Structure 1
Amino acid sequence: MDFFIRLPRSKKEFTLFMGIVSILSVTIIAPLITAFEIGFTMETWKQTLAILPIIWIAVVILVLLVHAPADKLSASIVDKNDSFRSQITINILCNVLLMSIFMTVIGSWIGQRDISLEPIQLFFHKWPRNFAISFAVEALIAQPIARQVLFMLHTKKDVNNSSVSEEPQEK
């Protein structure tokens, strides 16, 4: 039952979860990938910061689009009896797989401020690195932090709800 306390229970909590994960992911992944592409300099970092809002919007839209297909793919890999950690890891893997495929191309277009065939032509050269960076950030940083926030939120709500129901009722 521990898993339920770490997952969004409502649309509002899903929005909070997605907000935390997407903001952490975009602010870490985009600068890292850009730095690997054109070098680790302060100028590179500043240029990346300037386009982060646009990349964040693209990420949020893509998360909403790939969420259902990633869940279906994940469900075809794991069994309902598998551990929470294995289910979450496979779910993250499926989401990152689909997101990284699209963002390898779309992120390049946003970063270069130009729609060209270059990201498609260089896809198989760039995608493995982008996938590895994205998976590491999602699995080790962004999602664990967001799940901990939900855990704390649910723990507080559950304690408040149980203390309210344990108070003596006046007749």
Structure 2
Amino acid sequence: MDFYMKLPRNKKEFALFMGIVSVNIIAPLITCFESGFHLYVWRDVLTILPFIWLSVIAIVLITYIPAEKMTALIAAKDDSFRSHIVVNILCTVLMMSVFLTVIGTWIGTRAITLEPIQMFFYKWPRNFAISLFVEMCIAQPIARFALLQLHTRLDEKRQLG
């Protein structure tokens, strides 16, 4: 039941889910840890956020199937909804953080250099930890709650109409 009520059922709901989840929190946090918690840093992040959004959507589409396959290898079919979600978040964040540690730096600095690749093993653990915390504790619960509310209302309308 949780799979049906708390996960997107179609492309429109997937877009809503993506709109709620993470980019608005993770990108500014990682940037502020990198450059300092200042208003001008946050303002600068807001100017590049649309480009981060596009890269995140592209990477989600690229990593979706591999993350699902990894999840299936780790979690058994009869495991609980929560265990599937935790494993899926872990697999997704792992893959996305690898790509976005490099691509996000290129977008943020507005330059394609070797620096994010050379500094990868220094920056990736922090980026992974921030992303995993935000996804598990903030973004995913909010997005799943919103989908549960949406599906509950839609199912009530179908039963009445």
Relative to the length of structure 2, the TM-score reads 0.95
Partner of 2:63: 66
Distance 2:99 2:52 in 1: 12
Partner of 2:19: 19
Shift of 1:149: 1.2
| 2:4 partner letter | F
The reply on whether 1:101 has 2:93 as its aligned counterpart is no
Shift of 1:19: 2.3
Distance 1:62 1:10 in 2: 19
Task: Return the match for 1:39 from 36, 39, 50.
Answer: 36
The reply on whether 1:5 has 2:5 as its aligned counterpart is yes
Distance 1:49 1:10 in 2: 29
Matches within 5 A, 1:93-132: 93-132=90-129
Cα offsets for 1:94-128 (capped at 9, x unmatched): 11100000000000001111111110011011001
Cα offsets for 1:66-114 (capped at 9, x unmatched): 1111111111100011110010010011111000000000000011111
Partner of 1:76: 73
| 1:15 partner letter | A
Partner of 1:167: none
Q: Report the RMSD for the aligned CA atoms in angstroms.
A: 1.1
Question: Mind listing any 5+ residue stretches in structure 2 that lack a counterpart?
Answer: none
Relative to the length of structure 1, the TM-score reads 0.90
| 1:11 partner letter | K
Q: Percent identity?
A: 61
Partner of 1:90: 87
| 2:10 partner letter | S
Partner of 1:54: 51
Distance 1:12 1:46 in 2: 30
Shift of 1:142: 1.2
Task: Return the match for 1:142 from 139, 148, 151.
Answer: 139
Which of structure 1's runs of 4+ aligned residues deviate more than 2 A? none
Shift of 1:15: 2.1
Distance 2:120 2:69 in 1: 25
Greater Rg over alpha carbons, structure: 1
* Gap change, CA 1:2 and 1:26, over 3 Å in 2: closer
